[in-house]
Structure 1
Amino acid sequence: MNLIDVYIHEVTRRLPEKSREDIGLELKSSIEDMLPEGHSEKDIKQVLDQLGNPATLASNYSDRPMHLIGPKYFDLYISFLKMIVPIAAVIALISVAATQFLAFERGDTVLNVALDIFVLSIWRIIEVFIQVFFWLTVMFAIVERVDGIKDNQPRTMSLNKWTSDDLKNIVYIPKKRAISKRYIFVSLLWTAIWATFYFFASHLVGVYEKTDEGLTFIMPSLNQDVLNSFSSLVVIVIGAEIALALYQLFKGQWTKKVAMLNVLREVIGSIVLIIVIIHPNLFNPDFLTYLADNFTISSEDVRKFIIMAVMLFPIFSIWNCVDGFRKANSR
């Protein structure tokens, strides 16, 4: 076969069988029209080089794209991937922690539980990423093939081609006011951590002793029944933190409204913290006695010292509120 026939074959073999013959004849006629009279092999190569890669030319004849996700939806695809993966990862971490602590056995060591959570969390995050990546890729690949639009111009969030009018819908966010997805991820992760310790305090918060098997939990520091009595208030705090994080993700920047909601979240959290910490039966008496014996002070002094230490959190909350308004007013 000569170069022209080979080239046509390389193009048509990538096309549906029913259209190969017609496109082959059309392409051969086009090539012959481009060649000069008395053409040489060098002339043929120049024409074929001008036509380009057979796979690229075949994609121009084909009704379906010859790529999984093309330039039309690729930027949109990456944006969704970056938005969904962090949220799914946090949900996965919460589910792992909850599952492990529900299966927590009294005789187990906190080190073993922590290692189990760490290993399972890594595996679960990888699994979540693979699932999100797979299904999002499948979804965009299907959209790419059924939208019926021939051009490859990149699409915006509205699924339309970009125009200068789209700039009117873009809010310029100064760097100092921007809320990064990393910040949202850490916020949600912190909520998952403290909520886990709160609802499983009788297994996690207390006195540990070093044994041959590692650190062994011997005494809880808090009364789980008292903690559970405030569970409805704590759930409100958890809901407020999750709602604020999602709203910050949606806004993408610090505004006065976001700062005000941040203040409301901190006020609710601080009030609930104070209500819980001043409960007279919150601390395990054996725990207070254990610390009092070790530091040669009274149990009441130990209780007051712990309460004073915990009261540093409202101070941090005040700083967080001020910092939110500072960022909201940044230029």
Structure 2
Amino acid sequence: MDLIKLYIQEVTRRLPDKTRNDIALELESTIYDMLPEDYSEDDVKRVLETLGNPAVLASQYNEKPMHLIGPKYYEAYTTLLKLCLPIAAICSFIAIVAVKVFSPVDEGAVLETMLVIMGEGIWNVINVIIHTFFWITAVFVIAERADGVKKHSPLSSNFRPWTPEDLKQSIYVPKYKMIKSFELSCGLAWTAMWGTTYFYANHLIGIYENGDNGLRMVTTAFNQEVLLSFWPLIVLLIGLEIALTINKLIKKQWTYKLSTFFTIHQVASLVILVIILTHANLFTPEFLNQMGEIFTTSPTRIENSIIWGTITIFVIFAVWGMIDVYKRAAIKSDLNRL
């Protein structure tokens, strides 16, 4: 009797007050029905083991879920987290960098500025990730408890119960043809890095010396006024890269149209790069003279080496990238490959 009462108590204490008495009577009746007429303590233990853990049994009686997010919403919840967290983190870091780019900076204090950007950027990313995680979780927790449907089977990606018809919306994508989330994150991060470097070049790129106050820039490499004169082209290029990333996110696999978009982006990037690099006053005379002294050659040869070396490297990577995406687009997405 003691074991039975204790078991019923452990079950009912986890239930609302208004239902405890009724469920206690029902559970007591169930237990005695499962016992033989002349039962022993071992018989009681066997029946209680059959009924299982009191917490699990209580959850079956309880109308409210005893978990934050159950199997019904779990897949949709994790999918949304994987999609939103990287985007929120990258956007928050870009926002911090953008603010610092247009803030006044002491001449040559590039190292201190970069440390501040990294410190504030990392802290802001962590803060945004925590807030994004909290609010997405809160929305799904409310949905879990506000949902009047008691079925607990997982929902499909369209937030409806799964049916065989959902398979018609699925496409088998070979691994090499697939665009991974890592590629999207790296693409956005690269856009943020080179865009920041371009608009901040006079504080980032140049000749450094290690002085009493640490590493400081003594000669800037680029004429910032010349770089800023091309800002419409740079904004256009950044817009193309963001549009390309959005298309990758939607398509999730390389297609011929997406590969053509990628090729247009690469060609446009090359044209803009050549226009900027071949501008007469792009490099500062002080930078070219000092580099000529370091490498014991003329400033003109230094300038030509930088220009054509950069263009050559870009062309090699651009051609390799275009060949690769077209090869990936050529792979057939059919079920025969399963």
Scaled by the length of structure 1, what TM-score is found?
0.93
* Aligned amino acid, residue 182 of structure 1: F
In the alignment, which residue of structure 2 is the partner of 1:134?
Answer: 134
Worse overlay, 61-70 or 132-141: 132-141
Secondary structure of the 1:120 match is: helix
In the alignment, which residue of structure 2 is the partner of 1:228?
Answer: 228
In the alignment, is the contact (CA less than 8 A) between 1:106 and 1:203 conserved in 2? no
* Aligned amino acid, residue 154 of structure 1: P
In the alignment, which residue of structure 2 is the partner of 1:317?
Answer: 318
Offset from partner CA, 1:279-331 (integer Å, 9 cap, x none): 21222222222223333433332222221122121332122111110111135
In the alignment, which residue of structure 2 is the partner of 1:18?
Answer: 18
The answer to whether 1:178 aligns with 2:143 is no
Worse overlay, 97-106 or 258-267: 97-106
Whole-angstrom distance in 2 between the partners of 1:26 and 1:231: 76
In the alignment, is the contact (CA less than 8 A) between 1:206 and 1:219 conserved in 2? yes
In the alignment, which residue of structure 2 is the partner of 1:269?
Answer: 269
Query: 1:56-135, aligned counterparts within 5 Å?
Result: 56-103=56-103, 105-107=105-107, 109-135=109-135
Structure 1 spans left out of the alignment, 5+ residues = none
In the alignment, which residue of structure 2 is the partner of 1:249?
Answer: 249
Query: 1:159-178, aligned counterparts within 5 Å?
Result: 159-178=159-178
Q: CA deviation at 1:165?
A: 2.4
Q: CA deviation at 1:103?
A: 4.0
Q: CA deviation at 1:24?
A: 1.5
Show structure 1 runs of 4+ deviating over 6 A. Answer: none
In the alignment, is the contact (CA less than 8 A) between 2:111 and 2:215 conserved in 1? yes
* Aligned amino acid, residue 27 of structure 1: L
Secondary structure of the 2:65 match is: coil
How many residues of Structure 1 are paired with residues of Structure 2 in the alignment?
331
In the alignment, is the contact (CA less than 8 A) between 1:233 and 1:272 conserved in 2? yes
* Aligned amino acid, residue 114 of structure 2: A
Query: 1:212-227, aligned counterparts within 5 Å?
Result: 212-227=212-227
Worse overlay, 263-272 or 65-74: 263-272
Secondary structure of the 1:80 match is: helix
Q: CA deviation at 1:196?
A: 0.4
In the alignment, which residue of structure 1 is the partner of 2:211?
Answer: 211
In the alignment, which residue of structure 1 is the partner of 2:336?
Answer: none
Secondary structure of the 1:311 match is: helix
* Aligned amino acid, residue 329 of structure 2: A
In the alignment, which residue of structure 2 is the partner of 1:152?
Answer: 152
Scaled by the length of structure 2, what TM-score is found?
0.91
